[in-house]
Amino acid sequence: MNNPKRPVSHVLATKSSKFLEGHIPNDWHYNVPNNDYGIDYQVEISLNEQVTGLNFSIQLKSTENTEVGNFAKVALKRTTLNYYRVRLEPVMLIIYDADANEAYWSWINDHDIDYAKNNKTFQFSISKTNKLSEINWAEVTGHIQRIFNAKSFISDFDILKIEDNIELAAWKTYYEGDYEQAIYLFRRLISSGNTEYNLYQALTWSLYQTYQYNEALNTINLLLDFRETDNGLKTKACILAEAGFRENDKGKIIQARNLFKRFSTGGDSALMLFNYGNTLMHLATLMKRLSSINLVWLRNRTMRSVGRIWEQPIIT
C-alpha cells in the first residue's frame, strides 16, 4: 500500500522554522503571516517584559545544503524586493542549511542591489560566518533602533539602557506611531524632571506628526538653543515647511528650503526629500502668483496712465 509522501520542500520548511524559532529570544514576540508575500516572520523586540515598538521582518529560505564554499546563496524575485523597499521596518534574510543544521543571516539593505538592471531575479550571497546560532541579538536591537530613530532624526539614544517603565512605554507608543499618547507620556516624564535631550526630540516629532506645528516649532527652538545638531535642524526644516504650507507663509517656506538645501545629501529620508520638493514647488507657485499679480498691477497702472494721457487737453 502506497501512502502519501510529504514533499521534501515541506520537510525543509518545518526544519528551518523550528531552527529559527529556537533561536529567537524567548521574551520577544513573533508572528507568522497567513499570506506569504515574501515575509515569513514579523518579530517584535521586548525589553523588561515590555514590547518596545521596535520590529523587523524575516524572509526565511531553506535548502538541503549550501554546497562547498564560504557563502550561502539564494535568488529573490524583483517583485519581492520591490515589496521590501516600501516597507518601513528592516528585513532580515535567513538561509537554512539542513545538512549543516545551521542558518546564515544578513539584512536585505546591506546588499548592493542594482535595480537599474532588467533582472526578474537577483542573487544574494550570505557569508557563512554570519551564523544564526551565534547572532548577537543586542546588536540586532541596536541596528533596528538606529533605523527607526533615523526616520525621525533622533540620535545618541539606546533603548537597552532604559529602566523606567513609563519611559519605556513612551518610546513604545512613539515607535508604534501613537503620537498622541507619546506626547502625554513624554510631557509627563519631562515634568517629573527628566531632561534627556532625546525626550524633547521625540516630543517635538510627536507634535509635528499630530500637526501641532507651532508647539513643535517652539519646542525645537528651545532644543536648538540648548544644543544645535544636524538632526535638530532637519526636524526644524520639516516643521517650518509644513507650517509654511498650512499658513501660506513664504518666510517659513524659505527658511525650510534653506535648511533642506544645507543638509540635502541624496541619502536623506523619504520624508525630508518629500518636504524639500514641496518647498521648492510651493515657492515656484508663489513666485508665479506674484508674477501674475505684478503683471496685473503693471497693466492696471499702464491703463491708468494711458487714461490720463487721453484726458489731457489737446494743445493746438
Residue 216 has pLDDT above 90, yes or no: yes
Identify whether residues 116 and 216 lie together within a single domain: no
pTM score: 0.71
Contacts of 94 (CB under 8 A, 6+ apart): 16, 20, 58, 59, 60, 61, 103, 104, 105, 132
**pLDDT tens figures, 54-98:** 999 999 999 888 777 899 999 999 999 999 988 889 999 999 999
Angle between helices 165-175 and 179-191 (to 10 degrees): 150
State the residue for C-alpha cell 551564523: 131
Which pLDDT tens digit goes with each residue over 88-111? 899 999 999 999 999 999 999 999
Last residue of some domain: 141, 169, 201? 141
Per the CB < 8 A criterion, the answer to whether 174 and 202 are in contact is yes
Instruction: Indicate if 172 and 70 belong to the same structural domain.
Output: no
Question: Where residue 91 sits, what CATH number does that domain have?
Answer: 3.40.1350.10
Residue 128 and residue 177 in one domain:
no
Q: The domain containing residue 214 runs over which residues? A: 156-288
Asked whether residue 128 is domain-assigned, the answer is yes
Distance CA 54, CA 43 (A): 9
Q: What is the CATH classification number for the domain harbouring 177?
A: 1.25.40.10
- State whether 64 and 127 are in the same domain: yes
Q: Is residue 120 part of a domain?
A: yes
Q: Residues 54, 136: one domain?
A: yes
